Structure formats: structure tokens, C-alpha cells
């Protein structure tokens, strides 16, 4: 990976003053002298390494399984050229066209989805990019002009 990308995000957490990430060193490393007594470390388990992934827990497994499903959705969305509009319509639920589009999206049939996208646009009026906007604009028709202007900017074959 080229340099420069990591400066914007923290890719490596670095700490000096905290105990959490070096507790085992203070407790299990360092010089030991056999004839010395070691104080009791009872209660030390309060301080634990802040590991975000605790392996071997059923809760974690279930969370991962759930995350797999989310990955499915995210992957489908980013890897296919589903128009943004489709996402909005699909999340709107209710409309049969929306449900159909979602189903096809899952099968990753790129072309078909793009085609259906156009059909969906027609079916729902093709002037509402977002569900929210649609709801607001139903009351105020004049604002429709904004929506159709935006639509013209998109490459579209339907008009």
C-alpha cells in the first residue's frame, strides 16, 4: 500500500502510559531473584488486556455469523452497479418492485439489476431519490423540479 493513506486514520494504536497493553510484562517479565518473596497477585484479574476479539466464545461466534450476513449486503452493494436509487426504494419496503430488486441484488446479477433499476424508477415515478425526500415532497409539489433536474444529470436511457 502506498504511503500517505495511513496518516489520516489510526492504523496502529500506540500507547505509553497505559498499563493494559504491557501488564503481562510488568507481571511476568522483569528481573526475578529467587530468594525474594513475591507479593500475592490476587485480584490482578481485574486488569485485563483490552482485546477486542475474545476468541472462543459463543457470543463472538454468533456475532461473527451475523457480521457475515452484513458483509453479504455490503459486498453486494459495493460490487454491483446497483443505482443508488435502488437502495432507497428497497429500504422503502412495501412496493413489490422494491422487493424484487432486492432479491435480484442478492443474486449479484449485475445487468438484470441495472435493468430492473430502470423499471423500478418508472414504477415509483422516478422522481424520488430518497424515501425521506419523497415523503416531504409529496406535500410540496413545486420542489419536484429539483428532483427531475438531478435525474437529468444521470446517464439514463429512459427519456
Partner 1 sequence: MTAPASTSRSVYVYGVVRASHAVPPGRTGVGERPAPVRTLRAGALAAVISDAPARLRAKRRDLLAHQDLALTLGRDGPVLPMRFGMVAPDEESVRRQLLGTQNDCLAALERVDGRVEMNLKALPTEAGLGPLVREDPEVSRLRTAAHRAPGYEASVRLGEAVARGLKRRAATAAATVLAELSAVADATVHCPEVEGCVLNASFLLDRRGQRRFEGAVERLAATHRDRVELRLTGPLPCYSFTEGRA
Chain residues in the site for partner 1 (CB under 8 A):
1, 3, 5-6, 11-16, 18-19, 21-33, 35-44, 47, 49, 51-56, 58, 60-68, 71-72, 74-75
Residue with cell 485485563: 48
Find the shortest distance in angstroms from Cβ 157 to partner 1.
32
Of 82 and 147, nearer to partner 1 (C-beta) is 82
CA atoms of 44 and 80, how far apart (whole Å): 51
- Are the CB atoms for 72 and 78 separated by under 8 Å? no
Helix (H) or strand (E) holding 122: helix 110-123
Of 73 and 148, nearer to partner 1 (C-beta) is 73
Find the shortest distance in angstroms from Cβ 21 to partner 1.
4
Find the shortest distance in angstroms from Cβ 23 to partner 1.
7
**DSSP for residue 82:** -
Cα 139 to chain centroid, rounded:
33
Of 41 and 153, nearer to partner 1 (C-beta) is 41
- Are the CB atoms for 104 and 119 separated by under 8 Å? no
3-state secondary structure of 7: coil
Of 10 and 153, nearer to partner 1 (C-beta) is 10
Amino acid at each position: 500500500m502506498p504511503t500517505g493513506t495511513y496518516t489520516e486514520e489510526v492504523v496502529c494504536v500506540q500507547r505509553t502510559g497505559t498499563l493494559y497493553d504491557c501488564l503481562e510484562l510488568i507481571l511476568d517479565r522483569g528481573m526475578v531473584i529467587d530468594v525474594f518473596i513475591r507479593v500475592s497477585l490476587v485480584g490482578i484479574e481485574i486488569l485485563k488486556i483490552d482485546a477486542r476479539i475474545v476468541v472462543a466464545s459463543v457470543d463472538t461466534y454468533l456475532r461473527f455469523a451475523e457480521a457475515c450476513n452484513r458483509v453479504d449486503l455490503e459486498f453486494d452493494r459495493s460490487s454491483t452497479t446497483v443505482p443508488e436509487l435502488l437502495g432507497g426504494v428497497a429500504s422503502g419496503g412495501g412496493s413489490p418492485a422494491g422487493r424484487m430488486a432486492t432479491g435480484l441484488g442478492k443474486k449479484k446479477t449485475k445487468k438484470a439489476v441495472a435493468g430492473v433499476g430502470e423499471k423500478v424508477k418508472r414504477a415509483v415515478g422516478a422522481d424520488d431519490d430518497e424515501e425521506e425526500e419523497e415523503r416531504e415532497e409529496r406535500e410540496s409539489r413545486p420542489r419536484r423540479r429539483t428532483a427531475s433536474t438531478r435525474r437529468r444529470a444521470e446517464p439514463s436511457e429512459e427519456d
